C-alpha cells in the first residue's frame, strides 16, 4: 500500500524519507561523477557533498524518532476495532434507496402503459 | 514522564533490530562514500605499477559503490517494515482512522434516509391523486356507489360504525386489473388506522 487515503502524517513522513534516501544515492553518484572529471567544479562538489551529509543525518534522525515513537505506542496486542457495523448500516440504506427506485420505475411504467391504452 | 512499557519480547526485539539495521546501514553508506573519496586521491609513490594500482582502485570503488547501493536498498526495506509495523500497531492512528470511516458512513446513511423520507412525502401526495383519478375514471370496474380506497380511508375516521362503512368497498373489491395500484393500497393502511385488510 503505497499511499493511504486517510490522513496519516506518519505514513506520509515515511514516504518522504523514502524519497530522501533516493536523493542521498543520487547525490553520492553526482559527487563521484564530478570527481572523475578532468576539471572539477569545486563549488558544485562542496554543495553536493554537504547535501549528501545533511540528508543522511536527517534520514537517521527521522527514522530514530519513528522507532522511538513505536516503542512507546506498541502494545503487542492486535487491534480489534472495525467499522463493519456502520458499513453494514450504510449498505442497507443504499439497498433501501435501490428498492425505492425500483418500485418507482414500476409505477412510472404502469402509468405510461395506462396512458398509451 | 514517558515510562518504558513492558512490551512482549518479540516486539521489543523487533524494534531493537530496526534500530540496529538503521545504524548499520547509515554507517555503511558514510564509510563507503568516505573511502571512495579517499581512493580517488592520486598518490605519487605506489607499491605496484601505476596501471595495477589503477585497476585495484577501480575494482575497490566498484565494490564500495555496490555497498552504498545495497545499504540504500536495505534502508528502503527498513522503511517499508516500519510502515507495516505502524499500520498494525499504532493504535491512536488506527482508532482515528476507524472513527473517521464510521463518521463518513453514518453521514451517508443519514443522507440516504433523509432523502427517502422526503421522497415518501412527495410520492404519497402524487399517489393520492393517482388513485382518485383511477377510481373515478371509466377504466375502473367498481360500482357507482363504491368509494375509491382513499375516500374509504378518510371516511373511516368520520364513521361511528366502522364495519358498515367498509363493507361496501369490500363487497366490490377492485378487480385484478387494478393490480399496480393495489400494491400501493396497503401502504395507506400503514399511515391510517386499521385498514380493510384487517377485516377480511
Judged by a CB distance cut-off of 8 A, whether residue A67 touches chain B is: yes
Q: Does the beta carbon of A51 lie under 8 angstroms from any beta carbon of chain B?
A: no
Would the pTM count as exceeding 0.90? no
For residue B53, pLDDT over 80 is answered with yes
- Cα B197 to Cα B187: distance, rounded to the nearest angstrom: 11
Task: Identify from A3, A90, A105 which residue to disrupt to test chain B contact, counting B C-beta atoms within 10 A and taking the largest count.
Answer: A90
Are A86 and B106 in contact by the 8 Å Cβ rule? The answer is yes
CATH of domain A1-77: 1.20.58
- Grid cell, residue B74, equals 536495505
The number of residues making up chain B comes to 200
Domain ranges of chain A: 1-77, 79-116
Q: Indicate whether this complex's ipTM tops 0.85.
A: no
| Rounded-to-integer distance, Cα B188 and Cα B194, Å | 10
The predicted-structure confidence for B9-35, as pLDDT tens digits, reads as follows 788 889 999 999 999 999 999 999 999
**A13-17, B120-124, B135-139, B157-161: which range is least confident on average?**
B157-161
Distance CA B63, CA B44 (A): 24
Which of A5, A6, A3, A24 lies closest to A14, judged by CA? A3
B112/A93 CB distance under 8 A: yes
Amino acid at each position: 500500500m503505497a499511499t493511504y487515503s486517510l490522513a496519516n502524517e506518519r505514513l506520509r513522513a515515511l514516504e518522504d524519507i523514502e524519497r530522501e534516501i533516493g536523493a542521498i544515492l543520487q547525490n553520492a553518484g553526482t559527487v563521484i561523477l564530478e570527481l572523475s572529471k578532468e576539471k572539477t567544479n569545486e563549488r558544485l562538489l562542496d554543495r553536493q557533498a554537504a547535501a549528501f551529509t545533511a540528508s543522511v543525518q536527517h534520514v537517521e534522525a527521522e527514522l530514530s524518532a519513528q522507532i522511538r515513537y513505536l516503542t512507546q505506542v506498541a502494545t503487542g496486542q492486535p487491534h480489534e476495532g472495525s467499522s463493519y457495523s456502520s458499513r453494514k448500516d450504510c449498505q442497507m440504506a443504499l439497498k433501501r434507496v435501490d428498492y425505492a427506485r425500483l418500485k418507482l420505475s414500476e409505477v412510472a411504467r404502469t402509468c405510461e402503459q395506462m396512458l398509451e391504452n | 514522564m514517558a515510562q518504558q512499557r513492558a512490551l512482549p519480547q518479540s516486539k521489543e526485539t523487533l524494534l531493537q533490530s530496526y534500530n540496529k539495521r538503521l545504524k548499520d546501514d547509515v554507517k555503511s553508506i558514510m564509510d563507503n562514500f568516505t573511502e571512495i573519496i579517499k581512493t580517488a586521491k592520486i598518490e605519487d609513490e605506489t607499491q605496484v605499477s601505476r596501471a595495477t594500482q589503477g585497476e585495484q582502485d577501480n575494482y575497490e570503488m566498484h565494490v564500495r559503490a555496490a555497498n552504498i547501493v545495497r545499504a540504500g536498498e536495505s534502508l528502503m526495506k527498513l522503511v517499508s517494515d516500519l510502515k507495516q509495523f505502524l499500520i498494525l500497531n499504532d493504535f491512536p492512528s488506527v482508532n482515528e482512522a476507524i472513527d473517521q470511516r464510521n463518521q463518513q458512513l453514518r453521514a451517508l446513511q443519514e443522507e440516504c434516509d433523509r432523502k427517502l423520507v422526503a421522497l415518501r412525502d412527495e410520492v404519497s401526495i402524487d399517489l393520492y391523486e393517482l388513485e382518485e383519478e383511477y377510481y373515478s375514471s371509466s377504466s375502473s370496474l367498481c360500482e357507482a356507489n363504491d368509494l375509491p380506497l382513499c375516500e374509504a380511508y378518510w371516511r373511516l375516521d368520520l364513521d361511528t360504525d366502522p364495519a358498515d362503512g367498509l363493507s361496501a368497498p369490500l363487497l366490490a373489491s377492485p378487480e385484478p386489473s387494478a393490480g399496480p395500484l393495489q400494491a400501493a393500497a396497503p401502504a395507506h393502511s400503514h399511515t391510517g388506522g386499521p385498514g380493510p385488510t384487517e377485516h377480511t
